[in-house]
Every structure is written in C-alpha cells, then in structure tokens.
Amino acid sequence: MKIALLQPECVLGDREHNFNRAKELFNEAVRKGAEFLVLPELFYEGYNLKSYTKENAGETAKQNLEMIDRFKVLCKDSAVWAVVPFVDKEGDKLYNALVLIDANGEINCKYRKMHLWDADKNCFEYGDLGPCIVDTPFGRLALMICYDIDFPEMARYAALNGAEVIILPSAWDYIHKDLWEIFLSARAADNMIFVCGVNFFEKTGSGHIFGNSRIVNPRGTVVAQLPAHEEGALVYEIDINDVYKYRKRFPYLEDRRIDFLK
C-alpha cells in the first residue's frame, strides 16, 4: 500500500487557496507513485468554524460538494484512491465528514465524525456509531476523524473487526501536540495496527494547527512523518504483512481477558 499523507498550509476561510494547495500536493504524490492519498480534516475551510453557522450552512455544503466533485475527477484521471474530508449536510444538520473515493472517481463510502471536540459541538451533529471499516485493494481500512483516536474503544473495535490500517484525517492544535504523539502510537500498539494521522497546518485563526502528519507501525513506532509548520506530501509504502508479524509476537487481541466486563 503506497500511501500519501498530504499536509497543505491552509488559510482560514480561503477555500480556493486551500484546494489549490491540496491539489498541488495531490499531484506531487501521484508523481511519486502514491496509490492511496489522504487529506486532513476540514482542510477546505482551514478549520474556520464561522463557516458552519446556520446562516452559512447552505453555501458551505454546496461549496464542499463541488470540492468533492473536483477530487473525484482527480482520482479518476490519476487512477488513485483518496480520503477527502468535507462538510456534509442533511436537512438542516451539518456533519464533519469524509468520503473515500476510488480509482474510478466513485464514492466508496462516507463517514461522519462520531466524537465532537469542544466548539465542534456548536456547529456539527454527532455522526456514525463506530468507524467506517472498508475493504480495499490495499487492505481492510478503518476511517476515523481526529478526536475519535482519543477513545480506545474506536480503535479496538476496528481491530476486532479485521482492520489493518486506521486512517485519521485531523485538525490537531499545537497546544495538544503531546497527545497527538501519545494517542497515535498508543492506539497502534494497543491493537497491533498501522495508524496514519494526517494534519494540515495553519498560522492564523483561534488555534494553531501544526502539521506533523505521521505513520505509526503496529509496534507503536513512528516510521515516517512530516515536520511541523511546513507543507509536504509524505509517500510511504506500508507492508500489511507487518500487522500479522507483530500480532504473532505480541498477541494482545488473543490474550486480552474480558471476563470481568459483566
């Protein structure tokens, strides 16, 4: 699985700039041989919560659907898969969501973020119960978003249901950089699973999103990462067989005792 984590520099509220930066990194990763590409959470608005008010909801949803259509064309033209986060609307409700687009430019699945962080609760509705687990030519993947990784049950559920890689688009604030490092490695080691966390970076706004996208192997070791505060496209080849090698050496899923959970 030759995966690319795309880490654009986003400008708060400037959709066209953010799309163009993401597109340039997308094309760069494709030239490097990437087969499966992942964009960060809410990269299109740059974590601009003002875009998600009731007054702006209709226009925001329309713009996001148009953005998804543009990535569907990019995927089809390059014959690659991509995880593209976006703002989803149903009725008068907004969801922090993502889609998985296949190499034919078709939407394979959609996931709406289950756990909402802080001010997100004022903008979005709670989404799906549990991660989206999907079979692809590259392996069995679990799709989550950002804050979902803080909850061990999500990753454990994914592992118990056969997932080999967790894909985690994020908009993670620098003030919690230590938890970014802790949680991604912990969830990987807990479940002997690859975790791929992709985070944009943003110099303005109420927060400080810092980048530092990374791939963590099933031992909990960071095997590839992008620096903080820089754009980049990280292309890395994941060997799914490593999941089963580590699970044989560290059979956590087999040895776990749940007798006391009554």
> Which pLDDT belongs to residue 205?
55
Rounded mean pLDDT of the chain?
96
Distance CA 46, CA 59 (A): 16
Mapped onto helix, strand or coil, the DSSP state of residue 74 is: helix
- The pLDDT of 116-135, averaged and rounded, is 95
Distance CA 29, CA 10 (A): 18
Confidence of residue 262 (pLDDT cuts 50, 70, 90): confident
- The pLDDT of 123-151, averaged and rounded, is 97
Using the Cα atoms of residue 13, residue 15, residue 20 and residue 21 in order, give the sign of their dihedral: positive
Strand partners, 66: none
Give the model confidence (pLDDT) of 64-91 as tens digits: 999 999 999 999 999 999 999 999 999 9
- The pLDDT of 216-221, averaged and rounded, is 98
Q: What CATH class is the domain 2-255?
A: alpha beta
Of 51 and 139, more confident: 139
Report the share of the chain in percent with pLDDT over 90: 94
Query: Domain locations in the chain?
Result: 2-255
What is the edge-to-edge ordering of all strands in the sheet holding 36-38?
107-112, 93-101, 81-90, 36-38, 2-7, 232-237
